[in-house]
Amino acid sequence: MRQLYIGGSWTASTSDESIEVANPATEEIIDRVPAGTPGDVDAAVQAARRAFPRWAETPAAERGKLLGDAADLLRQRSDEIAKTIATDMGAPLGFALKVQTLMPATVLSSYARLAESHPRESRAGNSLVLKEPVGVVAAITPWNYPLHQIICKAGPALAAGCTVVLKPSEVAPLAAYALAEIFDEVGLPAGVFNLVSGRGPVVGEAMAAHPDVDMVSFTGSTGAGRRVASLAAESVKRVALELGGKSANIILPDADLPLAVKVGVANCFVNAGQTCSALTRMIVHRDQYDEAVRLAVETARGYTVGDPFDESTRIGPLVSATQRERVVRYINRGQEEGARLVAGGTEQPHERGHYVEPTVFAGVEPGMTIEQEEIFGPVLTLIPYTTEDMAVEIANGTKYGLAGAVWAGTEEHAVSVARRLRTGQVAVNGGRFNPMAPFGGYKQSGVGRELGEYGLEEFLEIKALQL
């Protein structure tokens, strides 16, 4: 069984209990990690607290150098780490390499640069305004992007001068261990980065409630985010929450319909649909609706479901049996409420593994469960509209506001509609994801932003000196 990383050393948990890590494609147990305890959390927090003053005072260039070295080592080990991610969470190997491993390395490099370049002082009249590290940060991360989401928190926190206690998801924790090994190898000072594996209700809640934690940064479901915020409120901690989504893809009548549908389907099914910002609602003018459904079904049928290590695979398994059961329940619910299943469904495509066929629903109306709730699987819903105002109303008609997309004949037209969406990011005519742009949500999709300078600002306190 693996150990915890606390105070610069690999340390046994105070509990003998372990958590099995399974390969979702084969259902075989591939590793075990400690089921950490509140005592383990306290030891990690105290190590981070002791390390904080010196790390905060470390010259920014030195902090940036260490992060840059870690990013370089991450790239050098990218093939190995990608195989780890493909094995413990099921992402197809190519995606695990390019998006799950190399993109986090790019993000970490950006924070290596920002550690030194981001301004920490400014003047406001007779005041000197300082930006200082917030302190000890508890980072609680999910299984769907097991390395990227850690880097989105640890990268800016460490660049800012904060120390970190990480709880990775116990479902897919192995990339977190690889990162801890890298931080240890490049010489990150003892206590600056700590890892405590375990279950959310035990380790995560102990971190959120700990009086010596200054900030909690959490990514996960909206329900779990509410719980984290509630626990953090007891000691008035700063909280950053990156939560669920039900993102809309509006295709306007003057858009390139075949391209918009093709790209929209790809975005919905990326990472087997296990992406909080996935464009799961395709909103199409009624005059083009039948053609859009046909194109979506045709595109979906081109997505091969299978072994993450098979080059032909475009959709790997869902991460667990629990996740597959959740997605199947939503597919059944959609049919019960009157939506038409036009592709995919609930049949198991392989004898072993937690697979779901790429699924498309037509005849979806606003307010249906599958139109309102986050499914977190490869399930696309198509909703018709008759006016532009109606399309915007449908897009804004959920409790979420994380991402979205607008397709139109001109960029000007698309931007005019994108400005009306109550969401944190909008892709215009297929604009590609920018890892330096702020990422986060409106409404119940979260609080705060990640990535780029906006992500760094989350981990800085502001002090004014009146001169």
Q: Which listed residue (205, 242, 371, 458) is catalytic?
A: 242
The predicted-structure confidence for 347-362, as pLDDT tens digits, reads as follows: 999 999 999 999 999 9
Q: What is the mean pLDDT of the chain?
A: 98
276 is catalytic: yes
- Beta strands 359-362; 379-385: pairing state: parallel
Mention every residue, 6+ apart, whose C-beta is less than 8 A from residue 253: 285, 287, 288
Q: Which listed residue (162, 268, 276, 371) is catalytic?
A: 276
Cα-flanking dihedrals φ and ψ of residue 427, to 5°?
-85, 125
CA triple 170-72-182, angle to 5 deg: 40
Between CA 380 and CA 360 the distance in angstroms is 5
The predicted-structure confidence for 269-293, as pLDDT tens digits, reads as follows: 999 999 999 999 999 999 999 999 9
The predicted-structure confidence for 163-198, as pLDDT tens digits, reads as follows: 999 999 999 999 999 999 999 999 999 999 999 999
Task: Give the closest residue to 54 by CA, choosing from 195, 214, 213, 191.
Answer: 191
Which secondary-structure segment (H or E) carries 321?
A: helix 321-336
Is 159 a residue whose pLDDT tops 90? yes
Between CA 116 and CA 458 the distance in angstroms is 16
Other beta carbons less than 10 A from residue 30's beta carbon = 13
Is 410 a residue whose pLDDT tops 90? yes
The predicted-structure confidence for 292-333, as pLDDT tens digits, reads as follows: 999 999 999 999 999 999 999 999 999 999 999 999 999 999
In the numeric block, which tokens belong to residue 319? 């991460």
In the numeric block, which tokens belong to residue 29? 């147990």
**Predicted local confidence at residue 377, as pLDDT:** 98
**Predicted local confidence at residue 1, as pLDDT:** 83
Q: Does the predicted model carry a pTM greater than 0.75?
A: yes
Is 340 a residue whose pLDDT tops 90? yes
Is 424 a residue whose pLDDT tops 90? yes
Task: Give the closest residue to 48 by CA, choosing from 138, 167, 111, 147.
Answer: 138
DSSP 450: B
Between CA 279 and CA 306 the distance in angstroms is 22
The predicted-structure confidence for 365-391, as pLDDT tens digits, reads as follows: 999 999 999 999 999 999 999 999 999
Provide the edge-to-edge strand list for the sheet that holds 460-466. Answer: 121-124, 127-133, 460-466
DSSP structure string for 23-81: -TTT--EEEEEE---HHHHHHHHHHHHHHHHHHHHS-HHHHHHHHHHHHHHHHHTHHHH
291-304 b/e (C-beta count within 10 Å ≥ 16 → b): ebbebbbebbeebe
Q: How far is CA 382 from the centre of its chain?
A: 24
**Predicted local confidence at residue 229, as pLDDT:** 97
Percentage of the chain with pLDDT > 70?
100
The predicted-structure confidence for 217-243, as pLDDT tens digits, reads as follows: 999 999 999 999 999 999 999 999 999
What number is the average pLDDT over the span 30-57? 98
